[in-house]
Structure formats: C-alpha cells, structure tokens
Chains A and B, each alone.
Chain A
Amino acid sequence: MSYLKSREAILFGAIGCLLLVVATRFPGFVAPQNLVAVFTDTSPLMILAVGQMAVILTRCIDLSVAANLALTGMVCAMINVAAPDLPVAVILAVSIAMGAMLGAINGILVWKLSIPPIVVTLGTMTIFRGIIFLLTEGKWINAHEMSPHFTGFPRADILGMSVLGWIAVVVSVVMIVAMSRTSLGRSIYAVGGNPHAAVYTGIDVGKTQFAAFVISGMLAGLTGYLWVARYSVAYVDIAGGFELDVVAACVIGGVSIAGGAGTVAGTLLGALFLGVVKNALPVVDISPFWQLAISGAAIIIAVAFNAQSGRSKGRVILKSAEHAQ
C-alpha cells in the first residue's frame, strides 16, 4: 500500500488524469506520436532537473543553470560560426566541459569560501548572462549562420524519437545508476541528510557539494548546445527564467529543499508534469499567459505536500503550547 502513496505513484496518476482529461476533448493529444513530441519538448527540463536535484540534495541550490545554458549555448554557436566543419562530437565535448567549468566556479565558491549557494548562484546567474552580452555585443546568431549538421543533430530521428529525447533517456539512466550505485551518489544523499554525521563517516561535505555543482553545470552545458541547435538561434536571453521551472520540477518531484530526500524518478515525473501542462494549455485553448501562474501554484501545492508527508509523528510539546496560546 505504501507503494501507492509514494510521490512517484501520485505524480504518475496526476499525469495520467491530466492526459485523460485532455484526451476526452482532443484524442489526438494522446496519440503516441504526440506523446513522443511532448517528451522531446520536455527533455531539456528533465536533463536540467536531474542535475538540479543533485545540488538540492546536498542542501544547496543552483539558480545559475539557465544562464550557464545560455552562455555555453552561445559559445557553441560561436564556435560553429568560426569553424563550421567541426564535428558534433567535439561540440558536445566542449559544451560539457564548459558547463562543468562554470559549475565548478559555483562549487569552488561554495566549497572553499563557504558562501551561501543562493548568493553565489544569484551572482553567477547575472554574471554569466552579462558575459554573453560582452561576447556578442547583443547580436543574435541565427539559423542561416549555423551549419546543417550542428542544428540537425538533436533533431535527428532514431527509432521514432529525436536524439534530444534519447539524450534525456541516457542522462536519466546514468543519473539513476550514479545516485543509487556509486559512492558519490550515496555521499550526496548523506551530506544532505545530515552533514555532521557525514563528516564523521569520512565524507568531505564541501567537496561533495562541489561535485554536485559540477554535475549540474555539466548537464546545463550539454543542454546549452542542444537548446541552441534545436531552436537554431542563440541570443542573450535564451531560456530566461528557466531556472525557476527547473527548481519547480524538482520540488514537484518530491525533492526536499532541506536536502537529503528525493529521487531521480520523482524529479523526471515532476518535469514531465510541467511539460504536459505546458503542451496541453494551447490544445485546450487556454491562453499561454496562464502557464506562469499554474506552475507557481503547482510549486506551492507540491511544497506544502512535501512538508505534510515529511512531518514526523513525534511529540512536539513546545509547538502545541505555542498554538494553545
């Protein structure tokens, strides 16, 4: 029974209901082909969300993911303009390395100088965006300037799904294994669950947080290339405000902002939930302007839900006295 009460099961049910409701009016929405399209459309969010999950698990937060994505994406596009014949494999390697480096900057500041992560990433968020402007002077890089293999890669079709979708699948599988089967993954949970206990078991808290930021940065960098190639355009403001969607996906997926609790599967379902909502709104003829308010409400409901399910049943003498006043 407890299996049915898990966050994953509830979210799965919620997404199912949502699809069912839309399907009663628009059966075409649940056609396999369209579901694959929705999955592909949500892929960037899923990739970023599992990276963000690792960071939140260690009691940190990374608000710079969208800016990292935009900066890395812009650099990839500039490399492509400068050297159109460079193979995609090199671009992928560059994007991951660069994303990891930007993540490492956040990580170093948190690890070595113990600056609160929210301050660090609020700062780097604006700095990264500013650097894009310095690099480009505000100019756009458009589709006609990019080479066909650069833009074609994420859209290439393998077994009915685009490469972008497959990359999300691969990233998810790797993260599931990494979080549950490697010592780094277990350290990440330990650090978030109880930092003091983690220190006594020989885990370096700062170093683990650093590793989580590098993971998040790496995935943001990878998504940067995929994003720019998929939409065939790069400019200063791409994915503006996307970091909030990413945090929302984590919170909806049951990742506790206090650290230590959350799963990859839950996070992926949280991202898919937002993705289905976003894609369903125009279909059922609701103005896309509703989306922001809906995701805001979803965050609040999800976090209230997280708090209720995580509340201990122990005796809280003082609190009850406080309310009795």
Chain B
Amino acid sequence: MSLVENAPRHIPDRLRHPLQEKLVRWESLLLAVAVAIFILNSLASPYFLNAWNLSDATFNFTEKAMIAFAMALLIISGEIDLSVAAIIALASTAMGVAMEMGAGTPALVLVGLTTGLMCGAFNGALVTKLGLPSIVVTIGTMSLFRGISYIVLGDGAFRGYPSSFSWFGQGYVFWVISVELVIFAILAVVFGVLLHKTNFGRMVYAIGNNPTGALFSGVRVDRVKMTLFLLTGLMSGLAAVCLTSRLGSTRPSIASGMELEIVTMVVLGGVNILGGSGSIPGVVIAAFVMGLVTFGLGLLNVPGIVMSIFIGLLLIGVIALPRLWAMWRNNAR
C-alpha cells in the first residue's frame, strides 16, 4: 500500500551536531517517554515502586515482545503477519492435544515450537511462492489457524499441564527476575545483533527499501522473506509455550487481539509500517512503555477496554505527531 508522497524532500546543507543527532532520535524520545511514565506512575500509585509489582508488570509485555522482535524484521522487509495471535492459539491447542496423549514437558515445548514454525512456513510459502500480498494472506490464515483451534476445542478447554511445564511462564531465575524476562532479554540481544550487525540484517533493510533493487544486487529476496516468516512463526510458538505455561490452560480464544498490540509495539518502537527502517532497541523501549502504561493504568483500576483506547491513541499519536510537527515547521518557514 504505497502512498503518494506530496511533501518535498528536505536536503540539509550541513550535518547536525552528533549530540543533537542522538538527542532527537526516535529511541531517545521514546526513552524520555518511558521515564516520564515511570515517574508519573510512581507518583500516581504507592504500590508501583515495589520490586515484585514491577516484576509482575513485565509479564504484560514479555510474550508480546518476543513476537514483536521478529515482527519488526518482517515489517522492515515490507511484509506483515497478522496471524501471530492465531498461531499462538493453534500452537497452544497442539500442545493441549499432545498433553492429552501423555507428552512430557520437553515434548510439549517441541510441539509448540514446531507448530509455530509450520504456521510460519505456511504463511511464507503463500507469500513467496505464490506471490500473494502478506496482509490478506495473514488475515486469511488468522481465521484459518484460530478456526482449527475452535474445531478441535469447540467451547472446551485443555488444562492439567504437568507441573514442570509451568516453569516457563511462572518460574523465576533469580529473585524477581522471571524466566520470561530472561528469554526476552536474550532474544532482544539476538535480534539486535541479527538486524544491526549481520549481512542478513542489511538484506532485510535493502528489501524493505527497494525489493527490486535488492534482487538486482544479488539478494535472494524470497529466501530472506521466507526466513522472516519462519522466525515470526517460531517466536509465536515460543510465546505460545510461555503463555500456555503461565495460564496453565488452553482455550481457542487465547491471545485474541494480541496481533494488534504487537503491531502497535513495533510501530511505537519507530519501525516504519511501510518498511525500510526501524531498530530493535526502539522495539525494546516500546515494549517497556506499553508494559508500564498498561500496568500503571491497571494499578489505578482502569478497565482493560479503556486501556485499549490508550493503546489505539498511542498507535495513531506516535505516527501523527511527528508529521504534524513537520507540517507546522514547514508552514512556519
């Protein structure tokens, strides 16, 4: 969905001071927002500044952020995957079926990850082999994957996972540091290195900026895109393991609407929804911002649906404000 750009391109006649360059970067602004929210929260509620409460707050975003990292790469490459929440549902259902058949914890994790990977492969094949637009394909698979969950489970639920399985979502590595938080931190580093320090990462940016140009420069565009869909599927499978383990049960409506929050997190992190730019540190800070906002509002007894208004406003606001600012500056000049 390309847009006709009307704004003239602004070419600076000299470079800005490096410090100034750092200060006006998206990530710096976002970090300032995160700090402001942190301070506001600790002023608004006396229960906020408590190690255990803050540790609980991280569960608001760890699972979503796992997927958001892979989604960020996918969006930078110019594609999108709206089926991630449905993949969680299907992977969780597959784990439930395996559990009924008497699978142990290692087998359950394997089933979850494999299901995610297979769903990602299905999306990727439709997009790269048949050349279909990812947004429609994944709207379709979103119904398909969750639909299969509904067929298997109906209005029932799986529960009674083995107690060792609860380690992933409920376990702590050290004091208040949960297993999920550690997984989140490791993945942040892995994806950060992958995107910013490897050939593969450069290819992702190249594809997002100009797929034809990338193809002419010898990038195997389809193969890279396929890998990204596989990664997104795998991360959704991992999130399914964590979420199922944390909730201790599977219903077909699990994680419904989560794709929206994940896309919001990625866009809030400064990734251009049209592809071509964005960074992993931005997504990490965005994860904290969203987690702090929902947790802070929760402490103030704001109901979930009202929080979704904030998320929606945040999503539109973070994109609209810089553009309004640019328009205002152009008019003033």
Contacts and interface: CB of A to CB of B under 8 A. Distances in A.
Interface of A: 59-61, 109, 113-120, 122-127, 129-131, 133-134, 138, 195-196, 199, 205-206, 236, 244, 247-248, 251, 257-259, 287, 289-300, 303-304, 307, 318, 322, 325
B2 interface: yes
Interface residues of B, number: 57
Given A117-B1, A133-B306, A199-B4, A123 B273 contact: no
5 closest A-B pairs by CB: A293-B147, A296-B143, A296-B144, A130-B309, A299-B140
A298 B141 CA distance: 10
B312 A116 contact: no
B151 A287 contact: yes
Residue of A199, A293, A294 with highest tally of chain B CB at under 10 A: A293
B323 A114 contact: yes
B320 interface: yes
A292 B320 CA distance: 35
Contacts of B316: 109, 115, 119-120, 123-124, 127
B148 A114 contact: no
Interface stretch (B91-99, B128-136, B282-290): B128-136
Interface of B: 1-6, 80, 126, 130-133, 135-137, 139-148, 150-151, 154-155, 212, 215-216, 220-222, 252, 260, 263-264, 267, 273-274, 303, 305-306, 308-309, 311-313, 315-316, 319-320, 323-324, 327
Residue of B126, B133, B143, B260 with highest tally of chain A CB at under 10 A: B143
B306 to A, nearest CB: 6
Given A119-B273, A120-B316, A236-B305, 11 more contacts: A115-B320, A118-B80, A125-B260, A127-B309, A133-B303, A133-B306, A205-B4, A295-B147, A296-B141, A303-B133, A307-B130
B1 A118 contact: yes
A299 B274 contact: no
B119 to A, nearest CB: 12
B154 A289 contact: yes
Main secondary structure of the interface of B (DSSP, over half): helix
Nearest to A287: B154
A63 B328 CA distance: 29
A127 B315 CA distance: 10
Nearest to B86: A296
Contacts of A122: 260, 263-264, 312, 315
A109 B315 CA distance: 12
Contacts of A138: 303, 305
26 contacts: A61-B1, A109-B320, A114-B323, A117-B1, A118-B1, A119-B263, A120-B316, A123-B264, A123-B313, A126-B311, A127-B312, A130-B312, A138-B305, A199-B4, A206-B4, A251-B140, A290-B147, A290-B150, A292-B143, A293-B144, A296-B145, A299-B136, A300-B126, A307-B130, A307-B131, A322-B215
B144 A322 contact: no
Contacts of A59: 1-2
